[in-house]
Each structure stands twice: as C-alpha cells, then as structure tokens.
Amino acid sequence: MALRSVAALVVDTMTPTNHHPAQLDLFGNPTDTPTTSETSTTTQTPVIETNDIDLIHHIAGNATRGLYLLVGTSERVYARADGPDSHDVVRVPRYEEDAVHQLLRRRLLTLGGTHHVTCGAASLTATAVLAPKSTRSLVTRWEHLQRPTSWTTHNHGRR
C-alpha cells in the first residue's frame, strides 16, 4: 500500500500514559514519570536517575570520604584528585554527576561549606558534598552484604 501524502500517517502512543503502573526507583518508591505532553511543554532537562546499586555504593563511599564538590551555579560535580585534603580537583563523568545529584535530591547526601580549589590553571570556589550518618551506615551495611553469585562486578573507576 502506498501513501499519497505524509498527512495520512498518524503516530500515537499505543497505551495511555495515565494507565501504566509507576516505575520504582532504587529504593522501592514509585517515581513520577512525566507524560509526553508534560515533557514537550517544559524547557527543563529531564531528571536522570539510576538504579545501578554498584554506582550508588561507589558514589556514597566517595562522598563519605569527602571527595565530591559542587562548582558554579550549574552545580557541576568535581572530585578531589589526591584524597580528601587535596586542593586539586577533576571533573567527574556525566553518569557519576547525575548519580551525585540523584543522591542529593534523595537527601542521602548534603551540602557543606565552601572550599577554594584548583582545576588545572583555574581557581574555583566549591561547595563540599557530605554524607550524613545515616548514609555512612548504609555504606557500611552494603559493604558487609554478600553479592548474589549471578551478579557481575562492575568497576566504576574507583578512586
């Protein structure tokens, strides 16, 4: 069958978005999935969340050691290059930055004081990312859990 015009082709979603069950996040809570009409009318970037427990454990562990800093109004995430007392920082990969912001939104990480750091030749004023006691106890608990044998081990560039 040949179409005579482009107007004859209509593409629509197969199921209404308000009838699908809510997707669960990393901690088992339902998430609000935006509908197609909501995402097209807003100018904000979509919220990216991960359920990779290895990545979350890595991020929470680094935050416990005081390695993360937020820089600028866009709150870009940097990590201390040579440990928690270092003044040299490097930019983290985008997936790691998204995970840090996810944990900040979930209040598993908090913001601390400001620090003056350097990234190459640039001098930056950064806000420390801190792990509260409840997050530190979660990290300790996760370190003592035994992984199922079917899980593969991922290395997220451990620092």
Per-domain boundaries in the chain? 53-143
- What's residue 4's pLDDT? 54
- Give 2-44 pLDDT, tens digit per residue: 545 444 444 444 444 444 455 666 666 776 655 444 444 445 6
DSSP state of 23: P
- DSSP assigned state of 1: -
- List strand residue ranges (DSSP E) for 9-135, in order: 68-71, 76-80, 89-91, 110-119, 122-130
* Least trusted range by pLDDT, from 33-47, 68-82, 107-121: 33-47
30 three-class SS: strand
Confidence of residue 139 (pLDDT cuts 50, 70, 90): confident
From the CA atom positions of the chain, what is the Rg in Å? Answer: 21
pLDDT at 124 over 50: yes
